[in-house]
Amino acid sequence: MTTGVDTIRIDGEEIPFKPGQTIMDAALAAGIYIPHLCHYPGLPPSGNCRLCIVETGNRSVAACTTPAAAGQQIISDTPELNATRKAITQMLFVEGNHICPSCEKTGNCKLQAMAYHLGMLDDHFPQFYQRREIDASHPEILLDRSRCILCDLCVRASRDVDKKNVFAIAGRGTDAHLIVNAPSGKLADTPMAVTDLAARICPVGAILIKEKGYEVPIGERIYDRQTICETGLQEYTDKPIIKKYQSK
């Protein structure tokens, strides 16, 4: 057991944290998985997906944006919180075109893996997503906005790592949508490249590398081999993408 003032307790387990770490950072560093879709180590947190909601001090907070503080008592893995997470995941499915068998990202999709992790067996809610523009203008990258879950990972990756500021989120509420920061609004008119972090960080099938669909056979895809818990913890310890695609 870890002792000292710089510790928090998650679901009864005492773990250390470093100054500046969030609850999410401390949990992942200690090997404790808190469900998330919009968080990635090395990128500033946004709290968009709300899957990482936890309870501390008689209130609900997003683990990815809430600083860890000495003595915090945090509750994360409960039937009630996981039911809320499943409902959020179900809403994400019906708000976009997430028909897994026909999607090139199937087996490599974090949203799909999250649904399995939370025991989601159906969409529960009626489909109501709006048809959104597909941008195939770029010679190497496809943008399918109908699959976007507004996690803004590509926004943060392009701005903070690639230093190109290709994407942004426009509108509010049900009108929120991903836009391309070019006068034409087309991906072809940006400096985005397949080697950019923004081109490869999308957790769903909204941003795809052309001519790579269904490249990995069934049984060898990411979530055929590992659960989203395992990959989420591995991302934190290895941080492979940030290192590989950091702009010079």
185-220: pLDDT as tens digits: 999 999 999 999 999 999 999 999 998 888 788 888
Report the pLDDT value the prediction gives residue 209, as an integer from 0 to 100. Answer: 95
- In terms of C-beta distances under 8 Å and separation of at least 24 residues, what long-range contacts does 224-231 make, across chains too? 224/107, 227/113, 227/116, 227/117, 228/35, 228/110, 228/113, 228/114, 228/116, 228/117, 229/33, 229/117, 231/113
Determine which of 8-12, 45-49, 75-79 has the lowest per-residue pLDDT on average: 45-49
Whether residue 1 has pLDDT greater than 70 = no
Mean pLDDT of 72-79: 96
Mean of per-residue pLDDT scores for the chain: 90
- Residue whose tokens read 């989120």: 169
The pLDDT tens digits for 80-117 are 999 999 999 999 999 888 988 889 999 999 999 999 99
Report the pLDDT value the prediction gives residue 239, as an integer from 0 to 100. Answer: 57
- In terms of C-beta distances under 8 Å and separation of at least 24 residues, what long-range contacts does 13-21 make, across chains too? 17/68, 20/67, 21/67, 21/68
Report the pLDDT value the prediction gives residue 194, as an integer from 0 to 100. Answer: 96
Report the pLDDT value the prediction gives residue 245, as an integer from 0 to 100. Answer: 42
Handedness of CA 115, 120, 121, 127 (dihedral sign): negative
7-77 in CATH: which number? 3.10.20.740
Mean pLDDT of 46-75: 95
Phi, psi of 240 (to 5 degrees): -70, -35
For residue 24, give the nearest of 58, 47, 48, 57 by alpha carbon: 47
Beta strands 73-75 and 7-10, pairing class? parallel
Mean pLDDT of 134-140: 96
Q: Residue 142 carries which DSSP code?
A: E
CATH 3.10.20.740 residue spans of the chain: 7-77
Distance CA 124, CA 105 (A): 22
Report the pLDDT value the prediction gives residue 246, as an integer from 0 to 100. Answer: 46
- Greater pLDDT, 234 or 36: 36
Distance CA 103, CA 142 (A): 13
Q: Which CATH number fits domain 81-245: 3.10.310.40, 1.10.1370.30, 3.50.50.60, 3.30.70.20?
A: 3.30.70.20
- pTM, whole model, 2 decimals? 0.87
Mean pLDDT of 41-58: 93
Phi, psi of 112 (to 5 degrees): -60, -45
CATH 3.30.70.20 residue spans of the chain: 81-245
Whether residue 30 has pLDDT greater than 70 = yes
Report the pLDDT value the prediction gives residue 241, as an integer from 0 to 100. Answer: 45
Q: Rg (Cα) of the chain, in Å, rounded? A: 18
